[in-house]
Amino acid sequence: MANELLFFMEVLVGGLLAGTMYSLVALGFVLIFKASATFNFSQGAMVFFSVLAFCGFMQDFNIPFVLAFILAAFLMVVVGLCTERLVLRPLMNASEDTVLMATIGLGYVLEGLAQAAWGVEVRRLDLGIGDFPVPWIADNLKLFISALDITAGLVAAIMIIGLFLLFKYTKIGLGLRAVADDAGAASSIGIPLKHIMLLVWSAAGVVALVAGCMWGARAGVQFALVDLALKALPVLIIGGFSSIPGAIIGGLIIGAVEKILEVYIGPFFGGAIEGWAPYVLAIFFLLYRPEGLFGEKIIRRV
Amino acid sequence: MKPVFMTYTRKDLINLTVCMVLSVLIIPTFIKTEYWYTSILIPWLCLALATIGQQIVMGYTGQLALGAAGFMAAGAFAMFNLILRVPDLGFVGSLIVSGLIAAAFGILFGLPSLKVRGIYLMVATLASQFFIIWMIDKFGWFKNYDSSGIITAQDIVILGKPFTTPLAMYFVCLAVTTILTLLAMNMARGSTGRNWMAVRDMDIAAESMGVSLLRTKVQAFAISAFYCGVAGALFAFCYLKSLEPVAFDIKLSFKILFMCILGGLGTINGAFIGAAFILLFPVLLNAIGNNVFHGAIDATIISSIEQVIFGLLMIVFMIYEPLGMAKLWENLKQIIKLKLSSSRIKGAKSSALNK
């Protein structure tokens, strides 16, 4: 009995920590949605692009780790700048769906560019953190938890606290919220819309880079990252599109539920239910609480 | 425009005749190489049909869905099982029933559209994509307990006659596509299509005018999935000639989405234009790579470039012409017509002066 409980705990904790990885991707979506009410479908591609660039800098040009990270982050700022200039500004007055489709196109562009520049083969990314159980926890608590998972959890926690504070207590955060609420009104009282957009897209790019590093260290830097990033969508639906705490809670729920279902129910169906379970979970959430756990209630006017 | 035959105008009938003459008489007499049929015309017709399905739900009803390939897989595997287990049904019967099975899935996964829209609905439809593929993959019954993963599709037999040559398969695809395209046009022009468009343009207003949202949306999803199902069955039996769930992955869904958007949302001819473009462009790019650069450019780089160009086109179209290539075609026709009529007026004037 105790063993079973311990096993359950292990699955649960493993799932929760894996969920923080989804949260990291979801965070990028939330940042952009919160500040511009735009749904950025290319976030997954940004994750792939940024981490592939990071790996490329390190492995092809032998640039040291920290410098490569800074360069990759800078590259993401450039991507953000170009996106704001070339995609978002011309689509300022377009409908939500049009912008969404344009970001799907943007995702394609980024994926293609990344592969053209750095090749299609799977790259290994070594962060110096092993993906194996931490001995201390394994000995004392009898739980096998990967060091990488714990790092991802910590990184996610730090980023989320940081962003939360930024949104809540700084002038920039106030500006971001104002723009999200009503871009026209915000610009008429002198909030520089261009800078805000640039800032948000750059921040989302850096978040994508961090998420990409975590995923890349686990699964290798490869095209499948884009599909993994799609799983951030159910996370967003559960957490709510405009809530930073929602992104983390949603990620935790998806991670835990997915692992528990996979371990306890999966064997009856031949496994691999991880592939669709999050989406079905998201449908149930949509039916009962379409705005998500922490999202703002959507009111549509006629 | 005055209708001349039933509800069709003269222009419609001319268009239909031109298309039919082109596809039934001219193409088979002039194109003899198998390559054109097996790798371009047949997949073009199949994918255009699937794109019409996507158009119905996305272009006409305005519901952002992203699961066309899932429904195609449902149709393809339903077809395989029907021919295997219910041989009495025949090819055409199986095709219709597999379309209906796909439609049932469409209704099931279209239900969330009653509550949500936009990106939310996209996520819900992604569930269908992943679930259907997983289901086919994990339950051996659907694949007749074949362990190799790839099943050979049965030969097409209609009324005792085998349709196995590329030309014969082309005609099968052509016939099905023609009938379904005409049906889709009728639906789009009739009250069904007007309801769809009313829901697309403003669902609340449509509802208050007495359009049932439940009926309209579920209907659109069912019909869309029917089209995708039939297209998937044809795609597997005429083009791939094998069945494997991997062929219907999320990439194909995105491809169909691209065909739909680049071709022109809310148009039937846009589905054909978009499918032709997405299908032919990589062929063209490869030809350029092979003939101009003589293979100096890696194939993976070419496919990356292709992806970049599709993405860029998507952005450019969204910014400058959200109605896609069908609208460009329309504009072009308009310009030519204007040029012609103005030159005619000029000609008339000059001849009048000469007198």
Q: What is the ipTM of this complex?
A: 0.85
Of A97, A108, A275, the CB nearest to B64: A97
Q: What are phi and psi of B161, to 5 degrees?
A: -100, 135
Contact residues for A254 (Cβ-Cβ < 8 A; gap 6+) = A19, A22, A231, A234, A235, A238, A278, A281
Give the residue-averaged pLDDT of B70-82: 93
Residues of B whose CB is below 8 A from A39: 118-119
Q: Is there a domain that residue A76 lies in?
A: yes
DSSP A123: B
- Are residues B273 and B331 in contact, defined by beta-carbon separation less than 8 angstroms? no
Would you say the C-alpha torsion A251, A253, A256, A259 has a positive or negative sign? negative
> What's the whole-number average pLDDT of chain B?
87
Quote the tokens at residue B129: 């994509």
For residue A198, the enclosing domain spans: 2-288
B319 to A87: CB separation less than 8 angstroms, yes or no: yes
Quote the tokens at residue B78: 């339903």
| 3-state secondary structure labels for all residues of B133-183 | HHHHHHCHHHHCCCCCCCEECCCEEECCEEECCHHHHHHHHHHHHHHHHHH
Domain boundaries, chain B: 31-354
Task: Report residue A81 CA to chain centroid gap.
Answer: 20
Q: Does A267 touch chain B (CB under 8 A)?
A: no
A286 to B138: CB separation less than 8 angstroms, yes or no: no
Quote the tokens at residue B142: 């659907």
- Are residues A236 and A41 in contact, defined by beta-carbon separation less than 8 angstroms? no
Architecture of domain B31-354: Orthogonal Bundle (1.10)
* Cα–Cα distance for residue pair B351/B355, rounded to 1 Å: 7
Residues of A whose CB is below 8 A from B250: 227, 230
User: What's the pLDDT score for residue A129?
Assistant: 67
- Are residues B107 and B226 in contact, defined by beta-carbon separation less than 8 angstroms? no
Split at pLDDT 50, 70, 90, the class of B234 is very high
Of A105, A120, A271, the CB nearest to B315: A105
Q: Which residue of B has its CA nearest to A267?
A: B138
User: What's the pLDDT score for residue B283?
Assistant: 86
Of A102, A110, A116, the CB nearest to B318: A102
pLDDT in tens, chain A (302 residues): 567 888 888 888 888 888 888 888 888 888 888 777 788 888 889 999 999 999 888 888 888 888 989 999 999 999 988 988 888 888 877 888 888 889 999 999 999 999 888 887 787 777 766 666 666 666 666 666 777 778 878 888 888 888 888 878 888 888 888 887 777 788 888 888 878 888 888 888 998 998 888 888 877 788 888 877 788 888 888 888 878 888 888 888 998 888 888 888 877 776 777 778 888 888 888 878 777 777 666 666 55
Instruction: Give exposure, B38-58, as e/b (b: 16+ Cβ within 10 Å).
Output: beebbbbbbbbbbbbbbbbbb
Residue with token string 């234009």: B273
Q: Could you write out the DSSP letters of every residue in B65-119?
A: ---HHHHHHHHHHHHHHHHHH-GGGHHHHHHHHHHHHHHHHHHHHHGGGGT--TH
* Cα–Cα distance for residue pair B23/B95, rounded to 1 Å: 22
Question: pTM (2 decimals)?
Answer: 0.88
User: What's the pLDDT score for residue A105?
Assistant: 92
B118 to A39: CB separation less than 8 angstroms, yes or no: yes
What total of structural domains would you count in chain A? 1
Q: Which of A100-104, A186-190, B63-67, B350-354 has the lowest average pLDDT?
A: B350-354
Q: Which of B74-78, B152-156, B174-178 has the lowest average pLDDT?
A: B152-156
Residue B61 to residues A70, B87, B262, Cα–Cα distance (Å) = 46, 36, 17
Instruction: List pLDDT tens digits, range B195-229.
Output: 999 999 888 889 899 889 889 999 999 999 999 99
User: What's the pLDDT score for residue B247?
Assistant: 87
Would you say the C-alpha torsion B310, B312, B313, B314 has a positive or negative sign? positive
User: What's the pLDDT score for residue B28?
Assistant: 80
Question: By C-alpha distance, which of B258, B252, B255 is closest to B313?
Answer: B258
* Cα–Cα distance for residue pair B54/B62, rounded to 1 Å: 10
User: What's the pLDDT score for residue B235?
Assistant: 93
**Per-residue pLDDT at B125 exceeds 70:** yes
Q: How far is A223 from chain B (nearest CA, A)?
A: 12
Q: What is the CATH number of the domain that holds A7?
A: 1.10.3470
Task: Report residue B146 CA to chain centroid gap.
Answer: 30
Q: Which residue has the higher pLDDT, B240 or B148?
A: B240
Residue B243, SS3 per DSSP:
strand
Residue B152 to residues B77, B101, B143, B224, B225, Cα–Cα distance (Å) = 12, 21, 10, 27, 24
* Cα–Cα distance for residue pair B232/A192, rounded to 1 Å: 50
Q: Which residue of B has its CA nearest to A94?
A: B319
Q: How far is B106 from chain A (nearest CA, A)?
A: 15
Q: How many CA atoms lie within 13 A of A175 on its CB side?
A: 17
- Are residues A205 and A80 in contact, defined by beta-carbon separation less than 8 angstroms? yes
User: What's the pLDDT score for residue B266?
Assistant: 87
Compute how many other C-beta atoms are within 10 angstroms of the C-beta atom of residue B290.
Answer: 14
Q: Which of A 153-192 lie inside 8 A of B, CB atoms?
A: none
User: What's the pLDDT score for residue A275?
Assistant: 79
Q: Is there a domain that residue A249 lies in?
A: yes
Q: Which residues pair with B9 in a beta bridge?
A: B3
Split at pLDDT 50, 70, 90, the class of B173 is very high
A233 to B322: CB separation less than 8 angstroms, yes or no: no
Q: How far is A269 from chain B (nearest CA, A)?
A: 7
* Cα–Cα distance for residue pair B24/A57, rounded to 1 Å: 56
* Cα–Cα distance for residue pair B246/B251, rounded to 1 Å: 10
- Are residues A110 and A225 in contact, defined by beta-carbon separation less than 8 angstroms? no
